[in-house]
Structure 1
Amino acid sequence: MWCVPELDSRYIERMEDVLEVYARPLRSAEPVVCFDERPVQLLEWVRPASPARPGREARQDYAYFRCGTANLFCAVEPKAGWHFVKATPNRKSEAFAEALRDVANHYPNAETIHLVLDNLSTHSCRALEVRYGVRAGRRLWRRFSVHYTPVHGSWLNQAEVEISLLSRQCLGNRRIPTLDKLDQETAAWERWANRQQLRIRWRFTVPKARARFGYDPPSFSRSEELCSTPKGVAHHEAHLARCHPGRGPLHRRRFPGPDRRPQHPARHEVGRHRQGRHARLQGLHGALGSEGLP
């Protein structure tokens, strides 16, 4: 598939992890929720549109005013047909944390919530800690079992299907000028979709992925590198392994003595030259002072 840049072990591991989550049966104790966001441009008419009337179609002017941008957080439980849309001014970590809290509040009795996310920088526990504090943020994050899609693998997130439905059935080519109006329109679509219980029938499974991409079942242990090792440390170790095969993990250079670094020979010679020049100038000043200057 053209949307897969490189099919390596890391990509396969995350892809099969997400697909195995999708294969789980519907359980209220462990709901599977897909979460994503999309930007929205707020536009206003320059001239109001002319409605349709007998014998004439509706008329719309092509010109518009730009009224800024907004963001829509979208979540869906595909097998249950539950939909969630939240309009926010932006997609910063504080807005993400509040949207995630709303999702958690919808499942007060769930043992864990399987949450499928992409690799956006705000999709982390840190965002919840910034918004609610370390203790409360971590307590909220522990309610979720997070499953990240592979890098360049957002097509595996069923929230993309949710966004497509919202765009075609609610937003379309309409011009929405304000955040309040966007919130009203998306809330109305959310209520309608939940009444209809629109479900997503996901047919791409692990066996189909192996047949489509032509690889054998992987032999790696699941999530050892991705979950047990911090992301930055794992990336640094992988970089060292590629560039310096002989070095161990997290190798650091050791310099002789505390707070001492080896000095370049040329710099050392320049330092000696400056010290000698300073000594000669001091001797010259002393000699002139002893002779008595006017």
Structure 2
Amino acid sequence: MKQCWRIPPEANAAFVWRMEDVLEVYTRPHDSHFPQVCMDESAKQLLLDKRESLPGQPGQPKRVDSTFESGGMRKLFLAGEPLAGKRFVNVTERRTSEDWAHFIRERIDVHYPKAEKIVLVMDNLNTHTPSSLYSTFAPSEALRLLKKLEIHYTPVHGSWLNMAEIELSALARQCLSRRIGTQKELEREVLTWQQKRNEEAITVNWRFTTADARIKLKRLYPSLEKKKSSTSKKTVAKND
């Protein structure tokens, strides 16, 4: 696994707490009643060709004019179930709290209707919160949806702990690394990628554990020995 340089440079108990919480989730075995789902979002800029491309000929590749016209940005909401080899992507024009709330409701009611709870791992973006459910739906509906979620947030500067980033990286490389002009085309390409990857049931083999973190990221853990030493010195000074 590639570590991200956004990791805090010094001891950070808040980071450690959330990191170990997510890593504990990843040790749980697959359970269809409590599916582990990782959610994240990205974006794709639409680029419209100003001139029609020239089709490829024998011995000559397809030629695309370098000039283009921006078609605006589109947002990509992705939820993946790493242990089951599933992923679902929605293309939207925005990334508001309402967009996130509708995306989550679709996962609950359409893709996991029989689950007792969805164990949801995601970053702490300001729209990724239960309050977005309440600002979008009636209170009774928001509470119904919230009761179906067991939420685990990755720490600040720890989005690399979210396995959804692995899926977004694959999506970017395999599907989005070319010029796409319209939302319909983007939706079609993303759906094709999603279906193919789901048919192949590609899973994620996560190997970074809490034991690894306590060794490789030891500097992030507060030093209890220093605290004991400091407390001891204060006690001696007070007695003197």
Paired with 1:54 and 1:109, the residues of 2 have a C-alpha distance of 53
Residue identity in the other structure for 1:22: Y
Structure 1 residue 26: Cα displacement: 0.7
Structure 1 residue 127: Cα displacement: 0.9
- 8 Å CA contact retained: 2:11, 2:222: no
Structure 1 residue 217: Cα displacement: 7.9
Paired with 2:11 and 2:139, the residues of 1 have a C-alpha distance of 37
Evaluate the alpha carbon distance shift between residue 207 and residue 62 of structure 1 in structure 2; reply closer, same or farther with a 3 A threshold: same
Equivalent position to 2:185, from 165, 181, 185 = 181
In the alignment, what sits opposite 1:211? 215
Equivalent position to 2:7, from 4, 7, 23 = 4
In the alignment, what sits opposite 2:83? 79
State the number of aligned residues: 219
In the alignment, what sits opposite 2:101? 97
Identity of aligned residues (%): 44
Structure 1 residue 47: Cα displacement: 1.4
In the alignment, what sits opposite 1:242? none
In the alignment, what sits opposite 2:157? 152
Paired with 1:148 and 1:202, the residues of 2 have a C-alpha distance of 17
- 8 Å CA contact retained: 2:85, 2:202: yes
- TM-score, normalized by length of structure 2? 0.86
The alignment partner of 2:168 has SS state of helix
In the alignment, what sits opposite 2:114? 109
In the alignment, what sits opposite 2:238? none
Evaluate the alpha carbon distance shift between residue 122 and residue 198 of structure 1 in structure 2; reply closer, same or farther with a 3 A threshold: same
The answer to whether structure 1 residue 132 and structure 2 residue 137 are counterparts is yes
- The unaligned stretches of length 5 or more in structure 1 are 221-294
Tell me which structure has the larger Cα radius of gyration: 1
- The unaligned stretches of length 5 or more in structure 2 are 225-240
Paired with 1:199 and 1:48, the residues of 2 have a C-alpha distance of 39
- TM-score, normalized by length of structure 1? 0.71
Runs of 4+ more than 4 Å apart: 215-220
Paired with 2:81 and 2:12, the residues of 1 have a C-alpha distance of 29
In the alignment, what sits opposite 2:58? 54
Paired with 1:131 and 1:183, the residues of 2 have a C-alpha distance of 24
In the alignment, what sits opposite 2:230? none
In the alignment, what sits opposite 1:30? 34
- 8 Å CA contact retained: 2:40, 2:122: yes
Structure 1 residue 57: Cα displacement: 2.1
